């Protein structure tokens, strides 16, 4: 067998979730509780009745790719050629890491705390990865200087999510500009930015930024999973400069051939209807208000929530977050994820998600505060 | 960039297909022309309206995996744990090759002529691969002795498709037994069989065989793409022994996370209805009769069609099949794929598919015969 596969440890998130009991308050779940917009699924079913469900070209349906490229309109990445449709943002990130990095010489730098997938995928590919930790005493705000200082000669890609899972922090527009300027000022081969925007539609600040707007060596990963409650539809995409995009499509073609054409039709209907990507955002904004109030009331230390649907809370009496998460799931009927899952800088914290009803979230926070 | 990605050459099949002109007879296409069974898509859309389209566990919906395991009932692989649902059989094969083989020491042996994906995926992973060629003078029949003789100490997996793309040959039950017995009699570590059964429902012989029925070190890949005209739904699966299955799921989890849950629901509806996998088979049997008659009438030398929806025909006056395919697509309005795409043993042949109307297939064959 492949020793790189054998070496990968099982997911801690799933191990905790597997212990969930009936009636538990689930603050572990990483997907929307809302139902998707059924009209788009029904439209795709009608389309299938007429056209069947055939292969698209490897990169995905051209009309969909044109709509996506035009919608985001990142400089130099506004054409269908710049978009590759993938099996969710998971395959998008996997293909980007596998294509852009040479395991023999390149390193991936992960801005942490971070979703564990970036480092695990690098490990699976035999690519070195290293974390640059945002600081707890700075509320895990994106620190552009720390990121740039962490680049070393082997660094060829920086993975950064905004809004971030788990911290909920959002890279501000001014920071995106500063990061782009600092990277452009560096001598030598450019460092790629892999910008994960899967929570892009869910922000609660006025000035979110996209590095792709300012830095030409950016690859953007996104999907319909969170914005449109379509986690199970498995439709994501990569947006990248032309020649890079061609290489990404080549890898994608051998890994999965094409993304679901049924799912691509759902996506086409969504991108054709102005506002459809934002339809769920009002619910999240209201929930964000309730959850922030509940966090204040809990007395717990928490990280300000700029975006996404997570909050990081400090264990009230310190100690080991894994033990606390086990105590919560086994004896207090609350699922929460230990912070260490997302990097050493989040040891002693729990990540909660807040897609459950607001009263349940508040009760879950009270139980955490009583630990 | 990853030099293994850069080194992979573009697909010859897609290069020929891209030259197709309006009104051309398309004998290049590798997907059914039939429409899928709409009732299953509509049922999945109704299910989505009630339940949303959420993640399943990484390996796929347990109820679907139970149905699949029970349907095929391969010895030792009859439980949900033995099944992993993938993004089509492409991801199934990719995950199997990536998980089971160690690039440092293992070799993949491909029974050729073969679909190019096996060797290309191995190349992408840095895994050595080698072909064992079935013989044109034996009509590319599966030659068990040749396969076993080709195993060398590094060989850890044999990829074999039955029915085969491109030859349409089917491994007979007696040959599956003989191959299993020969492999079991070998000393040392077992050699894995990766058995691609994507055309399993489309056979025109009485005694097709599955190695998985006789050999415990078999991994089976399959999908709904060909049997149910659902190429674009991207639902495939792997069936494997328990511990191997766990490792396959681990790789799958990091590559794509899960297969489409909408597609999995379509699959569940299909596996719940006895006969639904076989509903299109009658059309293929009738078409097989017409096409075989047209092949006889064409005067071309052809390989007997045991299964799938392809035929291999010898160039009537010899010469280079790539040049012939270009002549056909550019000047005679017929798309056909040069045999060399599938291995050196098919140089001088063309692969045609016969999902087009029978009259079109016959006319295409006349144009090939007139080359």
Would you say residue A257 has pLDDT above 90?
A: yes
What is the mean predicted confidence (pLDDT) over A230-238? 98
Question: What is the band of B12 on the pLDDT scale with cuts at 50, 70, 90?
Answer: confident
Residue of B61, B87, B156, B223 to mutate when probing chain A, most A C-beta within 10 A: B87
**C-alpha pair distances (Å), A290 with each of A201, A228, A361:** 19, 21, 9
pLDDT of residue B13: 80
Residue A86 bridge partners (DSSP): A236
Does A153 contact B at CB distance below 8 Å? no
Question: Residue holding tokens 């300000």?
Answer: A304
The answer to whether the bond into B318 is cis (omega within 30° of 0) is no
What is the mean predicted confidence (pLDDT) over A323-340? 96
Residue A339, Cα to own-chain centre: how many angstroms?
16
Question: What is the band of A265 on the pLDDT scale with cuts at 50, 70, 90?
Answer: very high
DSSP state of A133: E
- Who contacts B22 (Cβ-Cβ below 8 Å, separation ≥6)? none
Tell me which CATH code domain A38-275 carries. Answer: 3.40.640.10
Q: Are strands A107-112 and A128-133 parallel, antiparallel or unpaired?
A: parallel
Interface of B with A in 200-239 (CB under 8 A): 229-234
How far apart are alpha carbons A125 and A94 in whole angstroms? 9
Would you say residue B127 has pLDDT above 80?
A: yes
Does B254 contact A at CB distance below 8 Å? yes
Q: Are strands B155-161 and B192-196 parallel, antiparallel or unpaired?
A: parallel
Where are the CATH 3.40.640.10 domain residues in chain B? Answer: 38-277
- Residue A101 to chain B, least CA–CA distance (Å): 5
Would you say residue B11 has pLDDT above 90?
A: no
Are A261 and B233 an interchain contact pair (Cβ–Cβ within 8 Å)?
A: yes
Tally helices (H) and strands (E) across chain B.
13, 12
pLDDT of residue B17: 83
Where are the CATH 3.40.640.10 domain residues in chain A? Answer: 38-275
Q: Determine the residue of chain B that is closest to A116 in CA distance.
A: B254
Are B35 and A54 an interchain contact pair (Cβ–Cβ within 8 Å)?
A: no
Question: Do B229 and B35 contact (CB within 8 A), yes or no?
Answer: yes
pLDDT of residue A367: 98
What pLDDT digit, counting tens, does each position of A167-202 carry? Answer: 999 999 999 999 999 999 999 999 999 999 999 999
Write out the CATH class of domain B3-34+280-369: alpha beta
Interface of A with B in 321-340 (CB under 8 A): none
What is the mean predicted confidence (pLDDT) over A354-364? 97
For B232, list phi and psi in degrees, rounded to 5. Answer: -80, -5
Question: What is the band of A14 on the pLDDT scale with cuts at 50, 70, 90?
Answer: confident
Question: What is the band of B295 on the pLDDT scale with cuts at 50, 70, 90?
Answer: very high
pLDDT of residue B235: 98
Q: What is the ipTM of this complex?
A: 0.97
What is the mean predicted confidence (pLDDT) over B56-74? 97
Would you say residue A321 has pLDDT above 80?
A: yes
Which of A4-18, A126-140, B114-128, B232-246 comes out lowest in average pLDDT? A4-18
What pLDDT digit, counting tens, does each position of A24-44 carry? Answer: 999 998 899 999 999 999 999
Instruction: Report the CATH architecture of B38-277.
Output: 3-Layer(aba) Sandwich (3.40)
Question: What is the band of A116 on the pLDDT scale with cuts at 50, 70, 90?
Answer: very high
Would you say residue B14 has pLDDT above 80?
A: no
Where are the CATH 3.90.1150.10 domain residues in chain B? Answer: 3-34+280-369
Question: What is the band of A17 on the pLDDT scale with cuts at 50, 70, 90?
Answer: confident
pLDDT of residue A13: 80
Would you say residue A288 has pLDDT above 80?
A: yes
pLDDT of residue A185: 97
pLDDT of residue B52: 98
Question: Do A195 and A294 contact (CB within 8 A), yes or no?
Answer: no
Residue B365, Cα to own-chain centre: how many angstroms?
24
- Residue B30 to chain A, least CA–CA distance (Å): 10
DSSP state of B136: G
pLDDT of residue B10: 76
Give the residue ranges of DSSP H helices in chain B. Answer: 3-7, 12-17, 38-51, 62-72, 88-100, 117-125, 144-150, 173-184, 242-255, 261-272, 281-298, 321-331, 358-369
Q: What is the mean pLDDT of chain A?
A: 97
Would you say residue B283 has pLDDT above 80?
A: yes
Are A94 and B255 an interchain contact pair (Cβ–Cβ within 8 Å)?
A: yes
How far apart are alpha carbons B272 and B38 in whole angstroms? 15
What pLDDT digit, counting tens, does each position of B311-364 carry? Answer: 999 999 999 999 999 999 999 999 999 999 999 999 999 999 999 999 999 999
E strand spans, B72-139: 83-87, 107-112, 128-133
Are B53 and A36 an interchain contact pair (Cβ–Cβ within 8 Å)?
A: yes
Q: What is the mean pLDDT of chain B?
A: 97
How far apart are alpha carbons A73 and A212 in whole angstroms? 10
């Amino acid at each position: 067998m492949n020793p790189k596969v054998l070496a990968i440890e099982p997911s801690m998130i799933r191990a905790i979730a597997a212990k969930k009991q009936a009636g538990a308050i689930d603050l572990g779940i990483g997907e929307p509780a809302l139902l998707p917009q059924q009209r788009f699924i029904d439209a795709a079913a009608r389309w299938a009745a007429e056209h069947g469900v055939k292969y698209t070209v490897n990169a995905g349906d051209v009309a969909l790719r044109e709509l996506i490229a035009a919608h985001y309109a990142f400089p130099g990445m506004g054409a269908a050629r710049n978009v590759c449709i993938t099996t969710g943002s998971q395959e998008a990130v996997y293909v980007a890491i596998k294509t852009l990095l040479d395991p023999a010489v390149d390193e991936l730098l992960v801005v942490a705390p971070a979703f564990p997938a970036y480092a695990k995928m690098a490990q699976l590919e035999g690519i070195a990865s290293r974390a640059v930790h945002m600081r707890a005493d700075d509320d895990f705000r994106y620190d552009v200087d720390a990121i740039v200082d962490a680049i070393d000669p082997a660094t060829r890609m920086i993975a950064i999510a905004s809004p971030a899972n788990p911290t909920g922090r959002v890279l501000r527009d001014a920071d995106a500009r500063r990061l782009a300027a600092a990277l452009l000022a560096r001598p030598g081969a450019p460092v790629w930015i892999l910008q994960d925007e899967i929570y892009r539609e869910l922000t609660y600040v006025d000035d979110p930024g996209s590095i792709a707007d300012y830095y030409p060596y950016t690859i953007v990963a996104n999907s319909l999973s969170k914005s449109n409650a379509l986690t199970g539809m498995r439709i994501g995409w990569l947006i990248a400069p032309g020649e890079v995009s061609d290489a990404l499509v080549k890898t994608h073609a051998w890994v999965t051939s094409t993304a679901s054409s049924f799912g691509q039709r759902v996506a086409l209907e969504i991108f054709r209807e102005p506002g459809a990507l934002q339809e769920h955002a009002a619910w999240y904004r209201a929930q964000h208000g309730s959850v922030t109030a509940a966090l204040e009331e809990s007395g717990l230390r928490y990280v300000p929530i700029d975006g996404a649907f997570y909050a990081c809370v400090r264990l009230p009496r310190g100690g080991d977050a894994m033990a606390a998460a086990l105590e919560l799931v086994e004896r207090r009927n609350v699922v929460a994820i230990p912070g260490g899952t997302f990097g050493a800088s989040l040891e002693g914290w729990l990540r909660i998600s807040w897609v459950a009803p607001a009263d349940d979230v508040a009760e879950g926070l009270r139980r955490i505060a009583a630990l």
